[in-house]
Each structure stands twice: as C-alpha cells, then as structure tokens.
Structure 1
Amino acid sequence: MGAKLRSGIYLGRKSAVLLAVLLAALLLALLVLAALLGRCTKDGRPRAGAEAPSSLTPSSVVPSVEPTARPGPWDEWRLPSTLTPVHYSLLLWPHLAPGLPEPRTHSGQVNITVRCRRATDTVLLHSVELDYGDVAVWGPLEEGAGPSGRSIPVSKLWLAPRHEYAVLELRENLSVDGLYELRLAFQGRIRNNPFLGGLFLNDYEDEGESRWLVASQLEPTAARSVYPCFDEPAMKATFNIGIVHHPSYVALSNMPEIVNWTVTTFEITPKMSTYITAFVVCNFAYVSTTERGNKIRIWAQKDATRNGFTEYALNITGPIFSFMEDLFNISYPLSKTDLIAIPSMSSGAMENWGLMTFQETSLLHLPQDKFTNNKIRIAQVISHEIGHQWFGNLVTMDWWNDLWLNEGFASYLEHVGVHYIEPTVPLDIIFSYYVVHPMLHMDGKVMYQSLSDTDEEQQTNRLSSLFGEVTYWKGASIVRMLSSFLSEKLFIKALNSYLDAFSFSNAKQDDLWDQIQKVLFNISHVKAAHTSAFWFNGSLATK
C-alpha cells in the first residue's frame, strides 16, 4: 500500500493507465455476467431454450445425433492429428445459488484456439452429455494479434457417441499451419453421484444448516462431460478459466484468481492436459501459509476449519513441497496451491494442478486424535498428490497405457514424503510390507498383467481398469528397485534429466529408460576416461 495522501486524490500517468485497465476489466466482467444472467429466469435458473449471446457466435447450427454409417475420422478411437489445441478460454456457470432447488445443470462458453496441422474441413472434439447452442469457427488468426480473421461457415454439428465426439463439418478447408478459434456455447449436467466423475454435487451439513457444493473429478476422460475439448493427455494447452457464481460462494480453479465480482476469473495456466483442469464452487473457509512463494490454502467446511481439523495438513504441505523441489532440483511452477476437503468424491484424492481435491478423511485430522496412524495416512496422501505435481502434471504420460509413469512414481514418493515428515517411520520395512510383498503375492496368484500395456488401443470404457494395484504397487516397486540398483544419487540425477527434458510435455516409458541410460553412459564414459588417464600417467611414471 502506498503512502496515505493528506487530502484529495492525485493520479500520475501510470496510475491513471492502471485505473483505466482495471475499470475496463470490471466492465468486461459485468457485460459477460449480464449476458449470462439474461439467459436466466428471476430465480437464477437458465431459461428454457436460452442460447449464448449472438455477439459471441456469428453463425449458428443445431446439433444432431447421426448414425456413423459413412466412414470418417469419427470411426477412430483416438483424435486425428489434423488439429492441436493451443489455448482454451473457458467460462463456466454451475447453476448453484442459495435457496434454489438442487442444481442439475451447468452452462458455459469455450473458445479454443487450435493450429491446423493438415488441411481439413472436419473438426472433432470430445463431448459427452453436452447440449449445444451456437457454434462458430473463426480464422485464420494473426499470430499474437488478438481477435482477427473471418467466420468459417459451419454446415453441420452432430454427435458421434460411439467414441464420444462432437463433429463440426465446415464448408471449406482450414489451411495448414493456420490458427483458428472454435467458439461453442454449451450446457451440461451436474451429476448427483460423485462416483460418476465430471462436475458433481455434494450435499453436507455445516454450521447447523444443509448446504451444497459443486466440484469436479475429470481423470481420466470426464473433462469432455464438463466442456467440449481435446480430451487426451498429450493434447496439452494453456487455459484461461472463469467461473460464474453467486456472491455468497467461493469459486476455485487451477490458478490464482484475478477478479471476484460474481464472475471469478483466473490467471492463465501453464501448458497442461484437460484431465487436471479443476473447478469448485463452495461455501468453505480456509487456513493459509506461504512456502517459497507458493501460497498454500487448506479449504474445508467452516466448522472443521474453526475446530482446527486443517492445521496438520497446513503444517506439512509446504515442507513436502520444498523437500520435493530440492529432491528433483526443479521448482514448482505455480504461485498458489489449494487443497480442499470434499465430503464425498470418487477417489481418495486428485492431483489437479493448483487445486488438489481430497476426501475429508484423507486431509482433515482431529487435533484430539493422538493415534499417529491417521496422521501418517494424511501425510501419505498429501505426499502422493504433491509427487504428481512433477510426475503427471509437469511431465504427463503420452497415453494411458503408460499410466504407471504417473501413479507408480507418486506411489513411491508418498512413502518417501512420509519418511521425511515422520522420520521414525521405517521406510524400507513399511514399503516392503505394504507394497512389494502384496504385489509379489498378487503376481503369483492372478493372471499376469504387464506394467505398461503395449496395446495402446484401450477403449475409453476400459481406461478405469488401469487404475489398479498393478499400476500403483508394481509401478512403485519398479521405481524403488531402480533407485536401489542405480544408487539413489544416480537415480535422482536421471529423474532430473527426465523431468527437465519433458517439462510441460508428454513422455512414454521408453523416454524414461533413455534418460536413465543417458546418465549411466555419461558416468561410465567419465569413469573410463579417468581410468585411462590413470593408466597412462602410471605407465609414464614407471619409465
């Protein structure tokens, strides 16, 4: 805060420019909000048949579901390589407000900047249970010049449910290397069962009254049920997210917020996959701390926060972040991290970048509970999710068949993190008893399952089967074995090389082996050179 003036208001040139920018941003937020609220009835629910503002969508089509009798790219189980996403501008509106009936829908607008890699007149996006209003395609855009180009006529929008696509058929080809913007107004469903993933509803009791919150769980393929997107882990892009919400609620997403005026917008994310985008609208409280510039907030119900249930998580989260930063010698790339205790969700926790979600029992600790087992379990889950910030978020597996590159490393790091926080926990004994031995027993009794499935053609409805003991436990066992075999020093050096080479990108299993081999080759080459020099110098000394 600047020095306090004695009287009046005096603005210099820089201050005037800053004020003008802030006012323009506020005006834009109010215009967006007015446009969205214009689509509602007086009680805050969307009007039947309401569409996105026409100014955002110069051409309009009505979506349909078509049989895919004619062959086309929609017959393939993976997206074509004709388009790659560059940036998402997403405005999301969960229809949640105090005093209204149970929210069942959300709506929004997404503008996706894409680069055309091969000339095409067909655009494929992932889409599940989404209804569409207006759709438009603009371009080609000028690099870094903001809105530009012209409207590309859209002849038809239809849904191909077999592989969960929305198909846009255009009246002309998109040009190779051209940048284009896809603009889609949509409405989706808020699921009342958190185990179905996507955008889901929780009801809970807090401060003596019944309340709701809306949260997301998008791994592996539920982002497409919240907004149309290129929902594959290798299709990374940056995201500019805004959430429309009632003023009495807090909106959270991956990045720090910029404006909180019923439309909360967030800073642009790093390049990342769709499955770790995250959204929460709630009436929670938080406790906070800062560790090495990383603002850490632990969110929970107000009663739980008031009674100190969030203190243990707050005390250990920052140190675990610092420990892993030092371990990998790579700084955490975000400036804030929210950890939020959800009353009910489909998994124990989820590693969304900047907004990690947890089951309440995986994050909250009762201060009067003197048993260390619960604290160790919380430290374990937090360590697991923090490990994912590097293995999964910073470097992501190229496809789900190499999921162990995410989960195996995180499962290994959860034990390393616990040992750091609670040094009395015997790492080797605990790891052998709870991870290695159960995995050996399972491998001996059940049908053998490989760690990395060489058949990449995993159908979407089979991906959930990969999230099992083999991926987590065998993956962690392999990581532990590599660390022991190579020596911890060389292993960490190889991991640093791997993370550095593929930061904000994707990797396959062989990429990890290549980085390990590279480090070993360099070490052996140096040793060979030292041995040769020693032998040569010794020979000269004897003459």
Structure 2
Amino acid sequence: MGKGFYISKPLGFVLFGLGVGAVLTIFALSVVYSQEKRKNEVNARDGTRMVTTAAPHSTSAPSNEPWDKYRLPDTLLPAYYNVTLWPRLVPDEQGMYIFTGKSGVALTCVKETNLIIIHSNELNFTLTSEMHHAKLAGLGGTSAPVILKTWFQIQTQFMVILLKDNLQVGKSYWLYMEFRGELSDDLGGFYRSQYTENGVKKVVATTQMQPTAARNAFPCFDEPSMKAVFHLTLLHPPGTVALANGMELEVLQTRFEPTEKMSTYLLAFVISEFTNLRSPSEANVLIRIWGRREAIESGQGDYALSVTFPILKYLENYYNTTYPLSKSDQVALPDFAAGAMENWGLVTYREQSLFYDPKVSSNEDKEWVVTVITHELAHMWFGNLVTMRWWNDLWLNEGFASYVSYLGADYAEPTWNIVSNIYIFKYYEYILPPASCEGTQNELSFSPEERSDGAATGSEGVWRRRSCFLSPNYLHEYAYSNTVYTDLWKKLQEVVDADSSIQLPASINEIMNRWILQMGFPVVTINTRTGIISQQHFLIHPDAVVDKPSDYNYEWFVPITWMKSGSNMGQHWLLTKTASYEPMKTDTDWLLANLNVTGYYRVNYDPQNWERLLTQLTADHKNLNMIIHRAQIINITLALRTTKYLYEEKEYIPWESAIRNFEYFFLMFDRTEVYGPLQVSLFTYYKKKVKPLFDHFKVITSNWTRKPPRYMDQYNQINAVSMACKTGVKGCSELTRMWYRQWMKNPDSNPIPTNLKITVYCNAIAAGGVEEWDFGWQMFKNSTIAAEAEKLLYGLSCTKEPWLLNRYLEFTIEPNLVRKQDVAFAIVYISGNVIGQPLVWDFVRANWEHLTKDYDDGSFFFGRLIRGITRKFSTEFDLQQLQRFKEDIAASSFSFGTQAIEQAIEQTKANIKWVSENKVQVMNWLIEQSA
C-alpha cells in the first residue's frame, strides 16, 4: 500500500479497518453448497452388483434414520485406509473406461452402534462373502459382529451396513470392500483427461475430490473432519508414471509413502505419460513440475519451477512452520474444472494456471501463474495442516490463501509491486461489487455438494494483519486437526488481551459476528454539513423485502478511516445506526472516507461534499495523490461526471475503474430503445477522453514497437487500445487488423504484442468475416499453449456474424472441439456479444438436459454459466423468461443451477429498476455534453 494512508494509532482499529470487512465477501462467495445429487448409476456387470434396495422401514415420508441424513453419524472415526486402485487407460468392450479397486479402513468406535455408514457413490461392489458387499474384522484381538445386511442409499450416497450386535466403544475394526467404477470424463472424482501428442491420443487418470467426490473413487468417510492416514497403491501400465500425495516407493505397481493425517478431499493421484522438471538435488524439499512432454520440453514449466521453491521458503518463514512433506508435485492437467486444487503434496492445475511461455504469454498470464501457485501452496498449511471442520468455514481457507497469494507473488516478483498496485484494485473490484442481492448471501445451512468459483476473489483483507490474525501458535495447536472460525477469533482475542495498546469497542467475537452472520454489508452515509454519520443495509434493489432475520438488526461495527483535503486524517468506529461525529463536519474541505478502500462498506456523502470531490477531481486530480482514491469515487452513480477529467489521466487503476463502469452502461442499455443514440453519444464522449491515452502509448512505445517501461503501464496500454478501438479512435482498428492480417499471412510468426493479443483478436475478428474467424479457430485448435488458446477462445466470440456465433455454440458441446473445462467460458464469452446474447439464451435452454448430463454434479459449472449469460438481463421480458426457466427446471429431473437462477432473478429485478431510473438521465447528460 502507498505510504501515508495507514493510521498509526490504535492497532485494533487498523486491524479491522484493513481486514474485518472482507470476511463477508469471503463468506458469500466461497461457501455455496447445494443439495443436488447425481442421477445416474453405473450399470453392474462382470461379477459386480449395485444394490439399490431401500432402507429398512423406508416410507414415502421423510425419514429420521441416520442413513437418510446428509451428515455422517458421530459413532465412528477412521484411523487409516489401505487403498489399491487399477484404472484402465483403454476402453473395454462397451467403450467404457473403468477402474477396479480394493479398500480397507481401520475404524474406531466412539459411540455404541450397530450401523456402519460410509460414503459411496456410483461404485459397483463385489459380493465378498455371504451375499454382502463388505467384510468386517476386529483389530487387536477384538471380535467383529456379524453383518446382517448391506444396502445403498442413493440420495445420501451412503453404503449402510447393519450389524447383528453393537460395535464396542474404544475398539477398532477393519472394514474391507472390493468395487468397480467408471473413469468418466466429467472432471470430478476419479476421472480421465486426454490429449493428443504427435498424433497419438494419450489418456490421463486423475482426480478432483473437493468437495465430496472421494466417495466416487473408493468408499470412505468423506467429510473434512474425518481425517485419516492413507496408504495408497496404484496399478498402471508400463510407460506411465503414477503420482499421489506421498512420495512413490515402487514402480508399475506403485506404492506410496503413507500420507499425513488428512481429509479425504485433499487426496489426489495421477497416472499419465507426463514428464517433469525438478528442483536441484540439494534442495531439502523435492519440487517437480509435471505435464505433457511437449509442454515441459518447450520450457512452459520453467517459470513455475523457478518460483515454487522461493515461495515455499517464504511461506515457511511466514507461518513459522516447516513445510511438513518431503516433496511438492505440481501437475498441469489438460482437463480440469477449477483453476487449481491444493491437494497436499500433489497440487493439480489447469495448464493455464501452471504453464507460462514468455514468447506467447502475457503479463497477466505470468501474474496468474505465480499468484495461483502461491494460493495453492498457502493451503499446504492453512487448509491442509489445519482444516475447517465443515464446509461452511471454507471462506476461512480461501480468504487466507487469496491474501497470501499476493504476498508470495510480491516476494517472487518484487519489481511488479503487486501488493500496492494490482492488489489494491482487485480488492476494490471484488470487495465492493456493483450488486448485493437480498436473500442470496451468507447462508449457514449447506449441503456439501456445490462449490463456488469465486472462492479466491475479493477475500484478502481479513488477512492483512497476519501478526494479529494468525498467531504462531495457531497452526501448531491445531496441526493435523480441524477448527471452526471461532477458534481463530479465540486466538485473535488472546493477541488483543495480551497487548494493552489495542483498544477495541467490543470483543473480537462480537465484532466479527456482525460481519459474518449478517447478509450483505452497509452503506455509510456521511453528512459533512452536520457531522452525522449513519449506516444502512446496502441492497442493489432498495425496495426489496429482506426476509432473512438478523440478531444484530443489520447493524455493523464499522471502522471508518477518513481524510480532509489531502491531510488531517482520522479514524472512527461507527457502532450504531446513526451517530454524530464533529471532526467530520466541514463547509469548505472535501472529505474522503474508507481510505484505500480497505473497509467492506460503501460510502455516500451529502451533495455538497460530492461537489467538492468532483471539483477537486476535475481541477487537480493528482491532489488525490493515491490513485486508488481517484478510482474510489468513480462509481455507477457519479460515473459520468467523474469521468470528465479522464483526458488528463494516465494511471491504470482510475482508467480500469472508469471502463468497468462504462461497460455497465452498455450491459444495461445495449438492448433498449436508447441504445442507438446512447452508443453514438457515449462513444463520442469517451472517444475524446481516451484519445490522449491512446496517443500517449503510441509515443512511449515508439509507435507500438516496444512495451511501455512501467509494469502498470503495460496493463493500461491494453485499456488504451481496447477503448480506442471500441469508440472509434482513428488508427486503432487499422492497427489491430494490420497485426492480425500479418499473422494470417505467416501463421508461424505471430507479430501481435503478447499483452495486446486478446484485444487484437477480438477487434480483428469483429471487424472481419468468415476468413478471420476460421483462421482464429484453426489457431485455437492448433495451439499447444493453454494461455494462447484461452485468448483465442474469447476472440472468436467477438464476430458480428450470427451464423458464425451459432456455429461456435454448436462447437462448444462437441468435446473433441472444445474441452469440457472451457465450455462455460466459451458460452459466457459469446453471451457478452450483443448479437450472441439471445443466441446463447436460446441455446442453453434448448440444450439444458444435454449439458446437465455432461456435467453431472456440475453446480460449479452451472453457477458460472447462469451468472455469465444473464448479467445483461434488464427487461420485464427477460425476467419472465428467467422465471419460466426456473419453473421448467423445477418440474424436470434436472435441478442443477436453481440457486444461480434465483440469484439471476434478483439481479434482473435490480437491473430493471436501475435502467428505468437512469436511462433518461444518462441520455440527457450526454446530450448536454455534446451541446
């Protein structure tokens, strides 16, 4: 952060001013779990049998039996597993890829019971003896009860074993099973990925267990608090290598070191023909970067290897705890649903998240790699060593890792100044999104089968003061065990109690609970004429009825930092709905609150103060000398007036903020009756603002022949070119089309600057026709670099030809054309095109059942898809279609995405209101500017 804006007085105020507010965003974005269950069973064959018998005493009414509940009973604890798996990397006679396995688990009885309930999903079990699907033996001389019956509860994904007698408390038992499953391509559980190398198809067997897919690979107690040690053996064909959490001990039939005591969702294994780069032999931790041979040999893993060891050492120092494993494998997978997964000792990534090629990849690609690596390695301690007890505390893991990802990246790449530049804006962007829907945030009752893709975004602030939030004893005290968020508050309170200089208005628990147990966040209104400050629950739809009760009456303890006219900084706790605070009273100075946007709240002012801020911004914008402050007051409400000074602005963050608000206007208006006049007026207005920026970069890059010298300028150059082309600045379209045409003439030599590729691809394809699109498609298909393929995936969505967009949509559901991991992105990209949006909406509704079958258990996929394709919805007709779609899905057997649709309905209502209130004012303002 920039100097001069942290308050050096009571540490407690700074701590919460910097951090507490971010908790709510972590909570809202990170913990979303639905009750959507798999619908299809694997067919039994070849001596295996799937039993679907209903439970004893089952009726059509809801049952209170333990096997009908989604949580495991608290009667048994696993100690360790012995698991042997044999995946077949070629299809069988029916064209299926299958795996077989044997699994044993040592159980300790902690409460008397005659039931063993263990998770199992889509596994076919061999009848081991006496027509049962399991064997039970006692350990340590204990005798085991006789098994009376075994059955499967499909809805709750349990194998249930009914015993003749009770298990004895304190005694241990061995449960053994043999099974078979499908190595499908649905990107979850134990699944297959494939790629082509030198014309030969290669199959990879890999895993994604979070949150609840370990049960798809072998029967287990699949909850995060059920930690155990895993002894794993993998059988695989010659020419392949097997990897797992522990170090491999043998080959072909690869046996691995036992894991540390860990949760099932962190288990991982990979069988492939990958090769690797490794750290020097003198390193105390073996680091290996794995991936496709072509990618590794071409150097795409070099950057990841170069930063991983320094980041690990940095984190060891940061945590004051040695990395607890002997190795750290990082594997780039051709097909992977998430960005990466923090499996302990075997981190899995999308290729784009681990591989970097300096000849092809952009600054953003490189930054993404180093921050994702740090994020995942941060979990090795916070998340893996110490794990949340249940999924509703996932925000704690993800928020911490998100923050540390910037610290580690800053350590690995100090010249980028990520923490004080990029980080500030990303915090601003995600902490205060344009919308907060009533009734869609901060739910505490979740089933563990839906995972949000927003876990890492906007959640870093809570961790900015590691010395207070994460005392050195926290990891040591809870190592290899589980915690809840109140354990962290307890540690924080110990820090506060031990330091008399920290003055807080209440206990840590009371302060934090107001932020994490209430929906949404406040808007703080400051009246500089009277000195009255107040808070109100912020809702994007002000007339909405909030039906979620709050024990705190939607009242927060808000830490407010503020300054007057560039000096005279102060701080204040707002503890009630309304309070009087004389130091904020002024008739002459401008006042700016929430310095550096570190608090999780919006700010509004009296009209006079807004005028003073706008006057200052127009007269001397640099007097608001921290660029984040200039971005802070460029918001939707005042966006048009606050952009008048932009022709003088050269910094990245204010321009980025202005552009995002500018884009919101077009999201809302591009299908209304004002779009034509609005487009002309707004483009003319912004053209005048961006032309000086475009000309500036033309000069400092010597007519686009070299990179801007400053790192943040390299980002702002993208804004300059993108906005200049969008608004019709002379020379921009010609520039992008010239680069693209040069590439078309010589496909082996791409002349486009790496940082500008996505902008050039989009603009050139939009301005061209089928020839440009077909060339881009061919380059996409030929690309062996994931980051390059991603840019082309987006660029192809920019065409103005409806038939090309329809063809592209059809391509997305052909796995041999577009990888499943990329389908949601491609469809959302197309929907961002004003021509493509209605095509996408029709396509998704028509293909909903097909998509659902392809993405069984795909809440992660559908949430991303629905949010992306409905963000433009702003009419009553849009709303009616959404509501009908929700009804159609509810009436079908495919219930994926219902929560995302409900959120889209709320967002659409808010958009309708915003458009109705603002379209006339926007048009009138633009007319005044052009008069």
Q: Shorter-chain TM-score: what band?
A: 0.7 to 0.9
Aligned with 1:241: secondary structure? strand
Question: Which is helix-richer, 1 or 2?
Answer: 2
1:386 to 2:374 alignment: no
Which residue number corresponds to residue 230 of structure 1?
221
In the alignment, the residues of structure 1 paired with residue 259 and residue 272 of structure 2 have an alpha-carbon distance, to the nearest angstrom, of 22
Q: CA deviation at 1:216?
A: 0.4
SS at match of 2:431: helix
d(CA) in 1 for partners of 2:403 and 2:369? 15
2:456 partner amino acid:
Y
Q: Is the 8 A contact 2:430 2:458 kept in 1?
A: no
Evaluate the alpha carbon distance shift between residue 244 and residue 440 of structure 1 in structure 2; reply closer, same or farther with a 3 A threshold: same
1:75 is aligned to 2:59: no
Give the whole-Å Cα distance in 1 for the aligned partners of 2:304 and 2:145. Answer: 51
Q: CA deviation at 1:170?
A: 1.1
CA contact (8 A) 1:295 1:335 kept: yes
Q: Counterpart amino acid of 2:88?
A: H
Of 435, 443, 459 in structure 1, the residue corresponding to residue 447 of structure 2 is 459
CA contact (8 A) 2:391 2:448 kept: no
1:119, 1:98 → 2: CA distance? 45
Deviates more, 1:66-75 or 1:247-256: 66-75
SS at match of 2:237: coil
Tell me the equivalent position of 2:463: 479
Tell me the alpha carbon deviations over residues 314-348 of structure 1, each in whole angstroms, 9 at most, x when there is no partner. Answer: 11111100000011110111101111110011111
Distance in 2 between residues matched to 1:99 and 1:173, nearest whole Å: 42
TM-score (norm 1): 0.78
Larger strand share, 1 or 2: 1
> Is contact 1:349–1:385 with CA below 8 Å preserved after alignment?
yes
State how 1:137-536 maps to structure 2 within 5 Å.
Answer: 137-142=135-140, 149-194=142-187, 197-260=188-251, 262-290=252-280, 292-369=283-360, 371-426=362-417, 427-442=419-434, 444-447=435-438, 453=443, 455=444, 457-461=445-449, 463-464=450-451, 467-469=452-454, 471-480=455-464, 483=465, 489-491=467-469, 494-524=470-500
Q: 2: distance between equivalents of 1:151 and 1:117?
A: 15
2:125 is aligned to 132
Asked whether the equivalents of residues 144 and 167 of structure 2 are also in contact (C-alpha less than 8 Å), the reply is: no
Partner SS state of residue 270, structure 1: coil
Structure 2 counterpart of 1:279, one-letter code: F
Aligned position for 1:120: 113
Per the TM alignment, residue 277 of structure 1 is displaced from its structure 2 partner at its CA by 0.4
Question: Which letter does structure 2 place at the counterpart of 1:273?
Answer: S
Task: Tell me the SS of whatever aligns to 2:472.
Answer: helix
Residues 57-68 of structure 1 aligned to structure 2 (within 5 Å): 63-67=51-55, 68=58
1: distance between equivalents of 2:401 and 2:502? 32
Q: Could you give the per-residue CA deviations for residues 11-31 of structure 1, whole angstroms, max 9, x where no partner exists? A: xxxxxxxxxxxxxxxxxxxxx
Q: Distance in 2 between matches of 1:264 and 1:226?
A: 17
The structure-2 alpha-carbon separation of the partners of 1:173 and 1:417, relative to structure 1 and needing over 3 Å to count, comes to same
Matches of 1:414 and 1:479 in 2, distance apart? 11
The one-letter code matched in structure 2 to 1:475 is: S
In structure 2, C-alpha distance between the alignment counterparts of 1:99 and 1:221, rounded to whole Å: 27
- Alpha-carbon displacement from aligned partner over 1:359-411 (angstroms, at most 9, x marks no partner): 11111111424743221111011011001111111111110001111111111
Distance in 1 of aligned mates of 2:228 and 2:102: 17
Q: Is the 8 A contact 2:142 2:171 kept in 1?
A: no
**What is the distance in 2 between the residues matched to 1:112 and 1:84?**
10
* Residue matched to 1:35: none
**For each residue in 1:97-129, what CA deviation from the matched residue of structure 2 results, as whole angstroms up to 9, or x when unmatched?**
599986521110110001001111110011111
SS at match of 2:305: helix
Aligned 8 A contact 1:240 1:266 in 2: yes
Equivalent residue letter for 1:104: Y
Deviations 1:135-193 (A, max 9, x none): 44444311xxxxx5445321111011121111011111110110011101111121222
Label 1:202 to 1:101 Cα distance change in 2 as closer, same or farther (>3 A): farther
Contact 1:238 1:269 in 2 (8 A): yes
Contact 2:100/2:181 (CA < 8 Å) preserved in 1?
Answer: yes
Task: Give structure 2 stretches of 5+ with no counterpart.
Answer: 1-43, 504-931
Equivalent residues of 2:426, 2:458 under 8 A apart: no
Structure 2 letter corresponding to 1:509? Y
Q: Quick one: distance in 1 between partners of 2:467 and 2:488?
A: 16
Q: Alignment partner of 1:78: what SS?
A: coil
Q: 1:88 aligns with which of 67, 76, 81?
A: 81
How many Å separate the matches in 2 of 1:402 and 1:519? 22
Structure 1 CA distance for aligned equivalents of residues 457 and 472 of structure 2: 22
In 2 relative to 1, CA 189–362 (structure 1 residues): closer, same or farther, beyond 3 Å? same
The Cα shift of 1:468 comes to: 4.3
Is the contact between residue 393 and residue 485 of structure 2 (CA under 8 Å) also seen in structure 1? yes
Q: Distance in 1 between matches of 2:403 and 2:340?
A: 16
In the TM superposition, residue 224 of structure 1 has moved relative to its aligned partner by 0.8
Distance 1:99 1:200 in 2: 16
User: 1:441 Cα shift?
Assistant: 2.3
* Whole-angstrom distance in 1 between the partners of 2:372 and 2:97: 31
Q: Aligned partners of 1:314 and 1:294: how far apart in 2?
A: 12
User: Measured at CA, do residues 222 and 370 of structure 1 come closer, stay the same or move farther in structure 2, by a change above 3 Å?
Assistant: closer
Query: C-alpha separation between the residues in 1 aligned to 2:291 and 2:388?
Result: 31
Helix, strand or coil at the partner of 1:246: coil
**Residues 388, 477 of structure 1: CA spacing in aligned structure 2 closer, same or farther, 3 A cutoff?**
same
- Given that 2:52 and 2:154 are in contact with CA atoms closer than 8 Å, whether structure 1 keeps it comes out as no
Q: Is the 8 A contact 2:388 2:394 kept in 1?
A: yes
How many residue pairs are counted as aligned between the two chains? 448
1:250-303: CA deviations, max 9, x gaps? 11110001111x210101111000001001110111110157521011011111
Identity of aligned residues (%): 35
Structure 1 gaps, min length 5: 1-46, 52-60, 143-147, 528-543
Instruction: Report if aligned partners of 1:394, 1:505 keep a CA contact under 8 Å in 2.
Output: yes
RMSD: 2.4
SS class of match (2:215): helix
Residue type of the partner of 2:359? Q
Q: Which of 43, 46, 49 is the matching residue for 2:46?
A: 49
Supply the AA of the counterpart residue of 1:271. K
Q: Is the 8 A contact 1:95 1:103 kept in 2?
A: no
Counterpart CA distance in 1 for 2:204 and 2:106 is 31
State the secondary structure of the residue aligned to 2:325: coil
Task: Determine helix, strand or coil for the equivalent of 1:212.
Answer: strand
Instruction: Classify the secondary structure of the residue corresponding to 1:524.
Output: coil
Instruction: Tell me: CA distance 1:475–1:498, structure 2 relative to 1, closer, same or farther (3 Å).
Output: farther
Q: Partners of 2:350 and 2:152 in 1: how far apart? A: 35
Task: Measure the CA separation in 1 of the matches of 2:494 and 2:125.
Answer: 50
> Judging changes above 3 Å, is the alpha-carbon distance between structure 1 residues 241 and 521 closer, same or farther for their aligned structure 2 residues?
same
